[in-house]
Structure 1
Amino acid sequence: MKSYQIAVVDDDAQIREIVEAYLHKEGYRTIALSTAEDAWELWKDEPPDMWILDIMLPGMNGFELCRQIRKEAEVPIIMISARDEEVDRILGIELGGDDYLTKPFSPRELVARVNRLFHRVGSIRQAMEIPPVPSQIADTAIEVGELQLIQKERRVFWHGEEIEMTLKEFKLLQTLSEQPNRAFTRDELLTLIWGDDYYGSDRAIDDLVKRLRRKIKELPVDTVWGHGYRLRTERTGQ
């Protein structure tokens, strides 16, 4: 089994040492950093398999680092903060964080979340990268109006123009496109995209929808208030 490497970014040396000690007991490799600037250099040279990222850092803060990392890849990110503020939790999720912990936290709880997050990410990657049998299913294209998804190649086209998508964005769009006009609940989408052991907030789905709408401004994804989302095949008369 692969020994994952986790980057622990916190300006508190004691917290770094404690977190590293617990992760080592679980069999993970770690690298500790005290600034976001050093973490960004690590990302460019030797990206880790997961980030444990403090929000309140000197210089560039954790939010900005999370934003920059998320532009590049879907690597798992757990954000931690000394402030128990709802706005911080929401912002962390909206910027692409997968989970959020408030200081002081239990190192054992952190390790449990790390384990579950790796398990979930592994399940998603396996589902996305290994074609089902028969393989013709993965070769098919999904077309909903002007939207086209090439499943095996994980490519998205809108009015014939290719749109770049992250793994999670593609999975959400694929899920909605496979059953157009069906209203999915947020819980259903979380389970289908992250797995049934998801540990974070359902705001992650709202964040993905916002990102899709920014990339495809006329995408007919409706918010079903108090329920979730659906992809329409036809525009309403309004």
Structure 2
Amino acid sequence: MVSSQPPPGSLGAGYRALVVDDEVPLAEVVASYLLRENFEVTICHNGTEALAVARDVDPDVVVLDLGLPGIDGVELCRQLRTFSDAYVVMLTARDTEIDTIVGLSVGADDYVTKPFSPRELVARIRAMLRRPRTASAPVSPAGQVNPDSQPTRVFGPLSIDIGSRQVFLEDEPVALTRTEFDILAALSSRPGMVWTRRQLIEAVWGEPWVGNDHLVDVHVGHARRKLGDDPADPRFVHTVRGVGYRMGTGQ
């Protein structure tokens, strides 16, 4: 494990990043870019050590290689999600749909395919960290706050408490990742309105994000399963074929 800290009082001081990759030179390059952006950075080269370190340092973001020896990135992310809500960016050597789905299915927020630009990676991380942990008002497709809507939104048996970032179904809490919650928060801010995938990308990931819009479909799918929402007969999140998604009860 290697740990480095930014200068005291620097612009981004206070954000903690954990970089997990068995390719030592690559891990050091990623860490150097994050340090330039004033992150406090810890590097690990295996999954077992990374789990212990994550419990200790409580990172805000984890950059995680999918192909780690021993405990691989998928299992590490699965275990990480049992105690941490850190943003997770998965690094994969193969740009295939199955890699994307496997990585995101265990709670990763984004993925980057090797080889990648460290600047792009840092830009994605910055965009994620601009997303608030709490919110008191919804956002529009243009990212504008709507002060007129209530912070708790009710769709039949489903309640979305924006202020506490909690979701309840039949009065029982539903455990969502940050990204899954943020997608529901965006969709529920304009019930009945159709959101395109690009609008959801801009509202949830931020405008600098670049990548496959399929990322939205994967996270919507996870949220639906946790809500028991059948895509063929949805109660809450409806697919508008060829366009995107809308939220509301009924068809």
TM bracket, shorter-chain basis = 0.7 to 0.9
Report Cα offsets for 1:156-201 as digits up to 9, x if no partner. Answer: 2323333333333233223323332322211111112222222343
Are 2:135 and 1:125 aligned? no
Does residue 1:185 correspond to 2:196, yes or no? yes
Which residue is 1:43 aligned to? 54
Match of 1:148 in 2: 159
Contact residue 194 and residue 244 of structure 2 kept, 8 A: yes
1:74-118 Cα offsets, whole Å, 9 max, x none, are 42222223334442234323433333333344xxx2133213422
Distance 1:10 1:150 in 2: 37
CA contact (8 A) 2:12 2:39 kept: no
In structure 1, the partner of 2:242 is: 226
CA contact (8 A) 1:186 1:205 kept: yes
Aligned residue in 1 for 2:123 = 115
Task: Decide whether aligned partners of structure 1 residues 73 and 206 sit closer, same or farther in structure 2, where only a CA change above 3 A counts.
Answer: farther
Runs of at least 5 residues in structure 1 that lack an aligned partner in the other structure: none
Number of the residue aligned with 1:168? 179
More helix by share: 1
Find the residue that maps to 1:125 and give its secondary structure: coil
Contact kept, 8 Å, 2:238 with 2:245, in 1: the verdict is yes
Q: TM-score, normalised by structure 2?
A: 0.76
Q: Distance in 1 between matches of 2:53 and 2:41?
A: 12
Counterpart code for 1:181: G
Equivalent residue in structure 2 for 1:2, among 6, 12, 17: 12
Larger CA deviation: 33-42 vs 78-87: 78-87
The match for 2:209 among 198, 202, 210 is 198
- Distance of aligned partners of 1:115 and 1:186 in 2 relative to their CA distance in 1, 3 Å threshold: closer
CA displacement, residues 28-62 of structure 1 (integer Å, 9 cap, x when unaligned): 33222111111111111212222221111111111
- The aligned counterpart of 2:32 is 21
1:193-235 Cα offsets, whole Å, 9 max, x none, are 2222223432332222222222221443222222211223225
* Aligned residue identity for 1:211: H
SS at structure 2 position matched to 1:197: coil
Count of residue pairs brought into register by the alignment: 229
- Post-superposition shift, 1:130? 5.9
For residue 64 of structure 1, what is the aligned residue in structure 2?
A: 75
Change (3 A) 1:221 1:23: closer
- The 1:122–1:56 alpha-carbon spacing in structure 2 relative to 1, beyond 3 Å, is closer
Identity between Structure 1 and Structure 2 (%): 34
Q: TM-score, normalised by structure 1?
A: 0.80
Q: C-alpha separation between the residues in 1 aligned to 2:248 and 2:33?
A: 47
Checking the alignment, whether the CA contact within 8 Å between 1:144 and 1:180 is kept in structure 2 is no
The more displaced of 7-16 and 22-31 is 22-31
Consecutive aligned runs of 4 or more in structure 1 exceeding 4 Å deviation: 135-140
Aligned-partner SS, 2:90: strand
Residue type of the partner of 1:2? G
